[in-house]
Amino acid sequence: MTRGARGPLEESEHEVESRTDETRPADRAGHDILLAMAGRLPDRLLWRVRDWLAGGAEVALRTALPRALLRHRVGVTEVEREMLRTAVLAWGGSGRLVDAVPHADVAPEPTATFAAQGDVPGWDGPDLVLRALVPASADVIEVRRAWRTERASRRSAPMPATRVVLIGATRDLPALTGAVQRALRAQGEVEPRVEAIGPGSPVTAYHREALAASEVLWHAGAPASVSAPGARDGSADPEGSGRPESRRDAITATGELVRHG
């Protein structure tokens, strides 16, 4: 993405409102509460309940989601509790179970750090799959990717970086998340981390830090012939160095995030 190009957070309100999201309110509330849980619920659990949401498994979700928050002792803010309540009650679940989830005054700060490049520089196979698949899956504005590294304690060895996919889209967010997760699992990612952000989405510190460190894989209006920087097969680098060109546009302005989400 060249400097000055418009990203998903810079669309005008008219452009966003001109698209209609037919996602049911309960499913959108479910998507938003799961979006807010990024970095708070374990990845192995979060991708699975997102997959259930994409598949319409609301009977399972109405108890599995609040019980997961209870089991992992994850507190929610009052805004998050209302999203959870909207989803669970619409799915036929228990309001008492929602009320039992612990309270949190604010969402916690992320326990991980983010970077544009992972353990090996350049774009890999999953990056190229994302670039080809995601724009055709929904009304997508932009696809970004960051690498997440958990902060290691003094007694533990450093953890390998894991991929976090950030998608700006205007509708069908639960279905989009499920489709991208399945594509990444087909590429060997056991616990895909996919954050689909749309108008009104709750953007937490986790997302702000990931977005600020992310690299753009695709954005609406970009030339289709743009090649992958530093692709692992060396085809994008005539010198064969594998060093990626700079394609990162840092998103740090809170106002842009609020306008998008």
How confident is the prediction along the chain (261 residues), in pLDDT tens digits per residue? 333 334 444 443 444 444 556 789 999 999 999 999 999 999 999 999 999 999 999 999 999 999 999 999 999 999 999 999 999 999 999 999 999 999 999 999 999 999 998 777 788 899 999 988 887 765 899 999 999 998 766 556 667 899 999 999 998 999 999 999 999 999 999 999 999 999 999 999 999 999 999 999 999 876 654 444 554 443 333 333 333 333 333 333 323 333 333
pLDDT of residue 20: 58
The DSSP bridge pattern shows strands 112-115 and 215-219 to be unpaired
User: What DSSP state is assigned to residue 76?
Assistant: B
pLDDT of residue 117: 84
Three-state secondary-structure class, residue 129 = helix
Q: Name the residue among 135, 137, 131, 205 with its Cα closest to residue 174.
A: 137
**Cβ(18)–Cβ(165) below 8 Å:** no
pLDDT of residue 143: 95
pLDDT of residue 153: 61
Domain extents in the chain: 22-100, 110-260
The DSSP bridge pattern shows strands 194-197 and 112-115 to be unpaired
pLDDT of residue 151: 77
Q: 147 - beta bridge partners?
A: 115, 163
Structure tokens at 169: 């889209």
Please state, as a whole number, how many other Cβ atoms lie within 10 Å of the Cβ of residue 249: 21
